[in-house]
């Protein structure tokens, strides 16, 4: 598509963070999920990672190209569209670049041609859950780079890298002033269980050096890399202790889980290189 400029009413409305309760119980999370304490990077760093914009909802997500045409993201990044029994989603998403953050002006790079999400995501409450995955197709020539899936299963204490366009704090999701900026963060896996890669980081930016990072609103659908390979996709998270704590829990869908493998295998034509 021809690149065009779009004026967003407010970037923060695109941020999606799933607020967890103090116990970190995924079942009580609501479905919506920037990288807290992340380090700002150029848009051409991690070029496979892109910002997705849902014009219908006025919402942003993060996604990762895994082939020259297919972006993997969270199912809830496509939630404005209805699905058929196979998970095919009507509507579309845009890949955008920010032109003027203060003015909410972005440049549309490409529009998706098709979307599919795991139908088990909505069958299990449309919340933070282990089926929170989607595959979004864009025209050839859109991807600047692609990321490979990890072949090794993630485990506790693995060093990880996350990338996203979301907020740099998890305490006030109504303040979207920090969204739309690409950031990278580092941490270590705390646990891998029930289809999730889980870790804790800071709930507010302190040093902004990219350490002890966590996900926040607008990072939804974004990647978790281990050893440079794509191992997880952001589903949810939030500041602990009902948003008052200094730490924040992040939950990424484990792409090596049986549930993820089943969904990706069912759509192997979309992820074959």
pLDDT mean over 95-116? 87
Instruction: Report whether pLDDT(30) > 80.
Output: no
pLDDT mean over 87-115? 89
Number of domains into which the chain is organized: 1
In a domain, 238, yes or no: no
Q: Is 135 helix (H, G, I), strand (E, B) or coil?
A: strand
In a domain, 138, yes or no: yes
Q: Which CATH number covers residue 75?
A: 2.40.10.10
Distance CA 156, CA 222 (A): 20
In a domain, 126, yes or no: yes
pLDDT, tens digit, 9 for 90 and up, residues 202-257: 655 555 555 555 565 567 899 999 999 999 999 987 655 444 456 778 899 999 99
Distance CA 137, CA 115 (A): 6
pLDDT of residue 209: 58
Q: What percent of the chain has pLDDT over 70?
A: 70
The more confident residue out of 190 and 177 is 190
Write the DSSP assignment of 189-252 as a string of letters. Answer: --EEETTEEEEEEESB-SS-SS-S-B--TT-TT-EEEETTEEEEEEEEEEETTTTTSSEEEEEE
In a domain, 32, yes or no: no
pLDDT bin (cut points 50, 70, 90) of residue 88 is: very high
In a domain, 91, yes or no: yes
Q: Is 115 helix (H, G, I), strand (E, B) or coil?
A: strand
Provide the domain limits for residue 54. Answer: 4-15+46-146+258-271
Average pLDDT along the chain: 79
pLDDT of residue 217: 57
Lowest mean pLDDT among 66-80, 177-191, 246-260: 177-191
- Cβ partners under 8 Å of residue 30, min gap 6: 18, 19, 127
In a domain, 207, yes or no: no
* Residue with tokens 């999400």, as numbered in its chain: 117
> Per 3-state DSSP, what percentage of the chain is helix, strand, and coil (rounded to 5)?
10, 35, 55
pLDDT of residue 23: 25
């Amino acid at each position: 598509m021809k690149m065009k400029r779009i004026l967003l009413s407010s970037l923060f409305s695109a941020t999606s963070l799933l607020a967890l309760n103090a116990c970190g119980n995924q079942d009580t999370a609501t479905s919506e999920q920037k990288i807290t304490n992340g380090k700002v990077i150029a848009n051409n760093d991690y070029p496979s990672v892109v910002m997705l914009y849902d014009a219908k909802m006025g919402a942003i997500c993060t996604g990762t190209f895994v082939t020259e045409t297919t972006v993997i993201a969270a199912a809830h990044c496509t939630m404005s569209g209805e699905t058929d029994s196979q998970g095919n989603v009507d509507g579309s998403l845009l890949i955008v670049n920010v032109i003027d953050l203060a003015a909410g002006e972005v440049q549309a790079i490409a529009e998706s041609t098709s979307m599919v999400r795991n139908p088990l995501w909505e069958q299990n409450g449309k919340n933070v859950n282990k089926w929170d995955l989607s595959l979004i197709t864009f025209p050839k020539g859109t991807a600047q780079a692609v990321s490979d899936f990890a072949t090794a299963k993630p485990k506790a204490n693995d060093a990880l890298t996350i990338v996203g366009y979301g907020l740099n704090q998890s305490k006030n999701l109504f303040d979207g002033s920090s969204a739309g900026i690409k950031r990278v963060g580092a941490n270590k896996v705390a646990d891998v269980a029930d289809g999730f890669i889980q870790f804790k980081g800071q709930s507010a930016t302190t040093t902004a050096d990219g350490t002890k990072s966590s996900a926040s609103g607008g990072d939804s659908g974004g990647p978790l890399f281990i050893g440079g390979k794509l191992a997880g996709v952001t589903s949810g998270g939030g500041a602990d202790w009902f948003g008052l704590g200094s730490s924040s829990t992040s939950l990424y869908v484990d792409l090596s889980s049986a549930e993820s493998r089943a969904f990706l295998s069912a759509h192997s034509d979309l992820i074959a290189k």
